[in-house]
Chain A
Amino acid sequence: METITRNTIEQTCLEAIAKEMGLKSSDLNAEMNLRDDLDIVSLDAMNIIMALEDEFKIEADIETILEMQKVSDIVDHLSERINV
């Protein structure tokens, strides 16, 4: 089974965000602000979270994620949940 690293999680996060927001993942980075840079609102965030939950077979803390500011905050949260 492929080892899940923080880099894998970050790349998967960027791809999920890109897919939901109609962007290219290559144009995104982990330091981007979810609202100011990516225009993500709560419903977009829910779709992104659900995609990541499905991908990593985990249950994310939605309340926590909705309060996050940057992509890297989501990566941190998921890394913790996945025990990376």
Chain B
Amino acid sequence: MGVSGVRKIIEFDPTGSACQIAGIVTDFDSDAHFNLREKKSYERFTQFGLAAAFQAAEEAELQELEDDSGEIGVIMGTGVGGITSYAKAYDALFAGPEERPIDAYTIPRIMNSAVSSAIAISLGLRGPNFTLNTACSSGGNAVGQAMQWIREGRTRAVICGGTEAPVTYGLLRAWDALGVLSRKHNGTPETACRPFDKNRSGFVLAEGAAVLVLESLESAQKRNVPVLGEIAGFGSNCDATSLTNPDENGVADAIRLALDDAELNPEDIGYINAHGTGTRLNDPLECRAIHQIFGGRAATLPVSSNKSVFGHSMGASSALEALATLLAVQNDCAPPTLNCDYQDPECAIDTVSHNSRKVTIDAALSNSFAFGGSNAVLAFRKWKP
């Protein structure tokens, strides 16, 4: 059973926003990972990305590789990067009766690319190094692009994923102004995000990071490190219709692209990790796109949305969900969608509601869509040595 990480915002006074809740990482111990210089240099989103990268690199035993020849790359996704330091800088300039000095570390803290650079610096990785931004599909596009680098032979391994720390007063107000945040559950935050439920009312901002180590099969087998699964395909496209409204055909095309790239048929897919924001607009549209591709199977194909548990961590969300999909395939276990108490008839799918479900999953999709119409769909296949 999933446990929601959404709670009332206490880090600042959210008065003025109709939504006053968020998915906050409450147990992150910055001191356990970073010295004073690093804490001054690295904004919270960079710290999240680095901490996740350390965990991933350790599990993949990556530290044994010395990357003098630049064979290991880094590609991370983030939506709003160091927005907290932007806010502090403007606060210093405009919030008081007098202008105050702006911290000299502001620029390295706000740089979106600080996270990929910091990972490379910390782990000595001299391959290609990018941070990309495609809003809420950033992490998914980062993982997909990493796979392409390995396919092309450009790198033998890539550290990839997404990170975000967007919960600031200004950004909360900005998202609230769009009318897409849940406003009805400030008293019961864990029930706020309700993907595919007929009473859904929007998403909840969240923070976090997820990082994967992708490696060519040849390299992983040579090093005899555990293989968790295969990223088999990547569908990346743009709706090219609207900055804010998703498009059913664009979303369906991205799913089709991922299946074709993976050389999988729709009937091979045993689970879909949905974008599933819990907004009025996204969920039925995503379900219709799933029906476009999967036809009659769509009604019985297990689908879940992690955003009901984590909240929506913008550019990190698709990386968190890619990781959840990988684990679903590895463990034959579809994670739950919380709060889908009354399935919306317009969302005619088999929602994995309330509890996780044991089900054979040989292949799965992770859907991520974004403002700007930038879609990223990843196809995962079970690793069978």
Q: State yes or no: do A and B come from one complex.
A: yes
Asked if B105 contacts A47 (CB within 8 A), the reply is yes
| Neighbour of B37 across the interface among A39, A46, A51, A53, CB < 8 A | A39
Q: List 10 A-B contacts (CB under 8 A).
A: A21-B36, A22-B36, A41-B37, A43-B41, A43-B105, A44-B104, A47-B104, A50-B101, A51-B101, A54-B100
Asked if B104 contacts A46 (CB within 8 A), the reply is yes
Cα distance A44–B103 when bound, in Å?
9
How many A-B residue pairs have C-beta atoms within 8 angstroms? Tell me. Answer: 24
Query: How many residues on the B side are at the interface (Cβ–Cβ under 8 A)?
Result: 11
Closest Cβ of chain B to A15, distance in Å, is: 15
Residues of A close to B101: CB separation below 8 A: 47, 50-51, 53-54
Closest Cβ of chain B to A62, distance in Å, is: 11
Closest Cβ of chain A to B118, distance in Å, is: 15
Residues of A close to B37: CB separation below 8 A: 39, 41
Given A21-B36, A22-B36, the answer on whether A43 and B104 have CB atoms closer than 8 Å is yes
* 10 A-B pairs with the lowest CB-CB distances in the bound complex, closest first: A46-B104, A50-B101, A43-B104, A47-B104, A22-B36, A43-B105, A54-B101, A47-B103, A51-B101, A21-B36
What is the interface residue range for chain A against chain B?
Answer: 10 to 19
Cα distance A21–B37 when bound, in Å?
8
Residues of B close to A51: CB separation below 8 A: 101
Task: Decide if the interface of chain A is mainly helix, strand, loop or mixed.
Answer: helix
- Seed contacts A43-B41, A43-B104; 17 additional CB < 8 Å A-B pairs: A21-B36, A39-B37, A41-B37, A42-B104, A43-B40, A43-B108, A44-B40, A44-B104, A46-B104, A47-B103, A47-B104, A47-B105, A50-B101, A50-B102, A50-B104, A53-B101, A54-B101
Residues of B close to A21: CB separation below 8 A: 36
Closest Cβ of chain A to B283, distance in Å, is: 46
Closest Cβ of chain B to A32, distance in Å, is: 17
Mark interface residues in A24-59 (1 if CB within 8 Å of B CB, else 0).
000000000000000101111011001101100000
Which residues of chain B from 283 to 313 have a CB within 8 Å of any chain A CB? none
* Nearest opposing residue in chain B for A42, CB measure: B104
Residues of B close to A39: CB separation below 8 A: 37
Residues of A close to B40: CB separation below 8 A: 43-44
Cα distance A46–B103 when bound, in Å?
8
Cα distance A39–B40 when bound, in Å?
13
Closest Cβ of chain B to A66, distance in Å, is: 11
Question: Which has the most chain B C-beta neighbours within 10 Å: A21, A47, A53?
Answer: A47
Residues of A close to B108: CB separation below 8 A: 43
Residues of B close to A42: CB separation below 8 A: 104
* Nearest opposing residue in chain A for B106, CB measure: A43
* Nearest opposing residue in chain A for B102, CB measure: A50
